[in-house]
Amino acid sequence: MSNRKSELETLKADLEARLVRYQAHQRRETGALDKDFEEQASQTQNDEVVDSLEAETRAELVQIAHALDRINNGLGDECEKCGEEIDPRRLQVLPYTTVCVNCAAD
């Protein structure tokens, strides 16, 4: 269990660092939009991609926080829907999951 907790904490730190980079991009810390119209269009399109990546990162951080809370409360390997043990192979692939494969399919 502590190995999974450590893995989640490492993943959380990585995602938080990624979020900082996305926010720096959105604040144009590397410079303002280019004066060329085509370049501006490209930069604007990149902004939309970064917005999407930022939203996905925030959602994943919420899932990680929830999984860490469950681990800290001794429920980390238990499906929060049915109460059965989550298959260790599933936890290896999705360390922040809180539901078993059967409940995830429902």
Encode pLDDT of 63-106 as tens digits.
999 999 999 999 999 999 999 999 999 999 999 999 999 999 98
Tell me which DSSP letter residue 36 carries: S
Question: What are the backbone dihedrals phi and psi of residue 28, each rounded to the nearest 5 degrees, phi first?
Answer: 60, 40
pTM for the full predicted model = 0.76
- Looking up tokens 């990585």 gives 14
Q: What is the mean pLDDT of residues 15-30?
A: 80
